[in-house]
Amino acid sequence: MIRLEGLEKIYGGGRGGVTHHALKGIDLSIDKGEIFGIIGRSGAGKSTLIRTINRLEDVTGGRVFVDGVDIATLSNAELTIFRRSVGMVFQHFNLLSSRTVYGNVALPLELAKVPKDEIAKRVQPMLELVGLTDKSDRYPSELSGGQKQRVGIARALVAEPKVLLCDEVTSALDPETTQQILDLLRDINRRMSLTMVVITHEMSVVRDLCDRVAVIDDGLIVESGNVFDVFVKPAHPTTQALIANEIEASLPKSLRRIIHDGPGGPGENPVVKIVFTGPNAYDPIISQLSRTAGIDFNILAGQVDYIQNRPFGILFVEAKGGIDEAEKAIAFVQSRNLKAEVIGYVDPDSVPAG
Amino acid sequence: MSTQILSLLANAAIETGYMVLIALSIGTLLGGPLGVMLATSGRGELFEARVFNRVVGGIVNATRSIPFIILAVAIIPFTRMVAGTSIGTSAAIVPLTVAATPFIARIIEGAVRGVDSGLIEAAQAMGAKPLQIVFKVLLPEALPAIVLGLTLTTVLLIGYSAMVGAVGGGGLGDLGIRYGYQRFRPDIMAAVVIVLIVVVQLIQTAGDRLARRLNKRVR
């Protein structure tokens, strides 16, 4: 559906100004009907990248094909028509404050000179889809962030696009609203078999929404693949860092403070991080560990997620013994094709009870 | 106060209103598009035309830096060409319009530039043509600021209209100068001042109210 070949973008350069190489040769292929995530830190080039897909941004080198058409060859008039087949949703919603919810959703059709009565027929189902039928006559300033983004989504879909571009659509929203918007987008993808490109800096958005993901760093794709695989076996340091941000959040601050890097002092216990994925993720690993290593394990923190309906868990345990027993436990975990490592040491007395 | 003074006042007020309204209308007709073009012709903007932007911006600045009373005298030949005469209320509309146009252009430019660039981007992404962006996005979104700006222009023009008495224009200012000052009639001077204060107050209040009603951004 979308194919990017050797995409390059260089900003500036006029009159000896500073140039910025935002995209340094991007190759990507996005299939029809899939939700493709592009994740990266701010400044990695992801916003530039998504803007090349509807030519809001002209490329310096390389080509963009959408539905088989090289969009650089489109005339201005053709570009206008083409853009109607690509919807876009923005981080800051970009709604017209002078128009009601209805007026905002109707705008793309007005621009395409669709007759008024037909506009009404097409806007209503969109408002229903995003659950804002009762807010039709309200102005954006009267809505919450989540409601505004729903209007943005309805507006992007009203012209029945083939592709939906989502530029950090949940970054301005609180976690609960984020989840609702992600659910809505998932639902829309299934119902309309719409191809979606999702730009984000949050791994959780990729985890909860996308089928495949590409990690962009400094203008290059450093890793891409199925979301589950990338999540479970991140190869590139940037990917690992992005995922670590997610995981570390699951280790409570109070614990992070008392766990220190080795070597462990006398009486201190190793802390082992165990990552559960794949076919053995359901194994009763803790009780097996105790038996194999001959010591007890105290669970400090943990979480189990489901990514694309497959379990993916992380557990932080305190090995009630020395480093030798901990190593034995790690060897056992690894023999089960799960990952484990000592991440630090902790004084058992400082571990909060319970 | 005698009926004679009242009729003088009423006549002068009508003349002022006539001058200001016509100058404001023509000024908006000319300055409006100019302002939109100034706001959209900069580097990387909708109708990029940087030479045009510089030249028009320069002319606008030059016109605005000339004190109105000097402008009114300096363009008397032009006034005569346009209005057929350089004396009278109708002739005074010419310098008022010449002063109003660049002022309004800057007002509109500022109002249009105040529109969030994200909205332009969103409109482009929807497949809006440049003129559609102007009429469907920029002007509606800038409307509250434009109304406030035109209110300001109206008040400014009322002030200027008092000066055109110097070049043979009529109106409240002329009445104040000729009767109030030159004929030593403080009562007429006071009446003129009061009428001006009330009129300006009414215009400002009406403009503020209208702008607030149009502004859907805050509730």
Reported as a pLDDT band with limits 50, 70 and 90, residue A279 is: low
- Determine, for residues B118 and A90 on separate chains, whether the beta-carbon distance falls below 8 Å: yes
Q: Where are the domains of chain B?
A: 3-214
CA distance B34 to chain A (A): 23
Of A165, A100, A174, A173, nearest to A138 by C-alpha is: A100
- Determine, for residues B121 and A142 on separate chains, whether the beta-carbon distance falls below 8 Å: no
- Residue A31 is part of which domain span? 2-241
pLDDT at A246 over 80: no
In a shared domain, residues A73 and A199 = yes
Check residue A16 and give its pLDDT: 61
Give me the percent of chain A exceeding a pLDDT of 70.
95
- Sequence letter at residue A3: R
Q: Which of B47, B119, B126 to mutate to test the interface with A (most CBs of A within 10 A)?
A: B126
- Determine, for residues A108 and B136 on separate chains, whether the beta-carbon distance falls below 8 Å: no
Residue A125 preceded by cis peptide, ω within 30: no
The residue in chain B having the minimum alpha-carbon distance to the alpha carbon of residue A105 is B126
Check residue A278 and give its pLDDT: 67
The pLDDT mean for chain A works out to: 87
Reported as a pLDDT band with limits 50, 70 and 90, residue A353 is: low
Contact status, residue A39 vs residue A242, Cβ threshold 8 Å:
yes
Contact status, residue A322 vs residue A265, Cβ threshold 8 Å:
no
- The 10s digit of each residue's pLDDT in A9-50 is 888 766 666 788 888 889 999 999 999 999 998 888 888 999
Of B119, B132, B219, the CB nearest to A94: B119
In a shared domain, residues A228 and A275 = no
pLDDT at A320 over 90: no
CA distance B24 to chain A (A): 25
Lowest mean pLDDT among A168-177, A336-345, B60-69: A336-345
| DSSP string for residues in A268-302 | -EEEEEEEE-GGGGGS-HHHHHHHHHSSEEEEEEE
H or E, element range at A231: helix A227-232
Q: Which residue has the tokens 């702008």?
A: B211
In a shared domain, residues A95 and A234 = yes
| DSSP string for residues in A204-226 | HHHHHH-SEEEEEETTEEEEEEE
Higher pLDDT, A253 or B134: B134
Check residue A247 and give its pLDDT: 64
DSSP annotation of A55: T
Check residue A250 and give its pLDDT: 63
- Determine, for residues B132 and A111 on separate chains, whether the beta-carbon distance falls below 8 Å: yes
Angle A101-111/A116-129 helices, nearest 10 degrees? 130
- Determine, for residues A54 and B125 on separate chains, whether the beta-carbon distance falls below 8 Å: yes
- Determine, for residues B125 and A88 on separate chains, whether the beta-carbon distance falls below 8 Å: yes
Pick the CATH number of B3-214 from 3.40.50.720, 1.10.3720.10, 3.40.50.10800, 3.40.640.10: 1.10.3720.10
Tokens of B137: 């996005």
Reported as a pLDDT band with limits 50, 70 and 90, residue B46 is: confident
Q: What is the mean pLDDT of residues A291-302?
A: 83
DSSP annotation of A260: B
- Determine, for residues A83 and B119 on separate chains, whether the beta-carbon distance falls below 8 Å: no
Of A96, A142, A165, the CB nearest to B140: A96
pLDDT at A267 over 80: no
Contact status, residue A279 vs residue A232, Cβ threshold 8 Å:
no
A144 SS3 class: coil
Higher pLDDT, B174 or B154: B154
In a shared domain, residues A125 and A56 = yes
> How far apart are the C-alpha atoms of B134 and B121, rounded to whole Å?
12
- The 10s digit of each residue's pLDDT in A47-96 is 899 999 999 998 898 999 999 999 999 999 999 999 999 999 999 999 99
Reported as a pLDDT band with limits 50, 70 and 90, residue A329 is: confident
Reported as a pLDDT band with limits 50, 70 and 90, residue A258 is: confident
In a shared domain, residues A75 and A180 = yes
pLDDT at A281 over 70: no
A264 SS3 class: coil
H or E, element range at A307: strand A296-307
Give the angle subtended at the CA of A284 by the CAs of A280 and A287, to the nearest 5°: 135
Give the angle subtended at the CA of A83 by the CAs of A81 and A86, to the nearest 5°: 125
- The side-by-side arrangement of strands in the sheet containing A339-346 is A296-307, A310-320, A269-276, A339-346
The residue in chain B having the minimum alpha-carbon distance to the alpha carbon of residue A138 is B216
- Residues of chain A with Cβ-Cβ distance to B124 below 8 Å are 56, 83
Higher pLDDT, A251 or A220: A220
SS (H, E, C) chain B: CCHHHHHHHHHHHHHHHHHHHHHHHHHHHHHHHHHHHHHHCCCCCCCCCHHHHHHHHHHHHHHHHCCHHHHHHHCHHHHHHHHCCCCCHHHHHHHHHHHHHHHHHHHHHHHHHCCCHHHHHHHHHCCCCHHHHHHHHHHHHHHHHHHHHHHHHHHHHHHHHHHHHHHCCCCHHHHHHHHHHHCCCHHHHHHHHHHHHHHHHHHHHHHHHHHHHHCCCCC
Neighbours of B170 (CB within 10 A): 23
CATH classification of the domain holding A144? 3.40.50.300
In a shared domain, residues A181 and A286 = no
Distances (CA, A) of A324 to A321, A329, A330: 8, 9, 10
Q: Name the domain count of chain A.
A: 2
In a shared domain, residues A152 and A272 = no
- Residues of chain A with Cβ-Cβ distance to B123 below 8 Å are 107, 111
Check residue A290 and give its pLDDT: 82
In a shared domain, residues A281 and A210 = no
End-to-end Cα separation, chain A, in angstroms: 53
Q: What is the mean pLDDT of residues B51-66?
A: 93
Of A167, A199, A194, A163, nearest to A67 by C-alpha is: A163
The residue in chain A having the minimum alpha-carbon distance to the alpha carbon of residue B138 is A96
Check residue B1 and give its pLDDT: 60
Cβ neighbours of residue B96 under 8 Å, at least 6 residues apart?
B19, B20, B23, B27, B157, B160, B161, B164
Domain end point (choices A224, A241, A258):
A241
- The ipTM, to two decimals, is 0.86
H or E, element range at A28: strand A20-30
- Sequence letter at residue A71: I
In a shared domain, residues A161 and A298 = no
**Alpha-carbon torsion (A308, A310, A312, A313), positive or negative:** positive
pLDDT at B90 over 80: yes
pLDDT at B219 over 70: no
- Residues of chain A with Cβ-Cβ distance to B139 below 8 Å are none
In a shared domain, residues A13 and A74 = yes
CATH classification of the domain holding A298? 3.30.70.260
- Determine, for residues B126 and A140 on separate chains, whether the beta-carbon distance falls below 8 Å: no
Sort strands A163-167 and A61-66 into parallel, antiparallel or unpaired: unpaired
CA distance A164 to chain B (A): 11
Higher pLDDT, B207 or A246: B207
In a shared domain, residues A215 and A127 = yes
pLDDT at A249 over 70: no
Tokens of A94: 């970009």
Q: What is the mean pLDDT of residues B84-104?
A: 92
pLDDT at A220 over 80: yes
Contact status, residue A99 vs residue A107, Cβ threshold 8 Å:
yes
- Determine, for residues B216 and A139 on separate chains, whether the beta-carbon distance falls below 8 Å: yes
Reported as a pLDDT band with limits 50, 70 and 90, residue A145 is: very high
Of A84, A86, A92, the CB nearest to B118: A92
- Determine, for residues A96 and B217 on separate chains, whether the beta-carbon distance falls below 8 Å: no
pLDDT at A195 over 90: yes
Domain end point (choices A207, A241, A275):
A241
Of B124, B159, B136, nearest to B24 by C-alpha is: B159
Q: What share of chain A is helix, strand, coil (3-state, %, to 5)?
A: 40, 30, 30
Domain end point (choices A241, A260, A289):
A241
Question: Residue B144: exposed, middle, or buried by beta-carbon count in 10 A (0-12, 13-18, 19+)?
Answer: buried
In a shared domain, residues A27 and A174 = yes
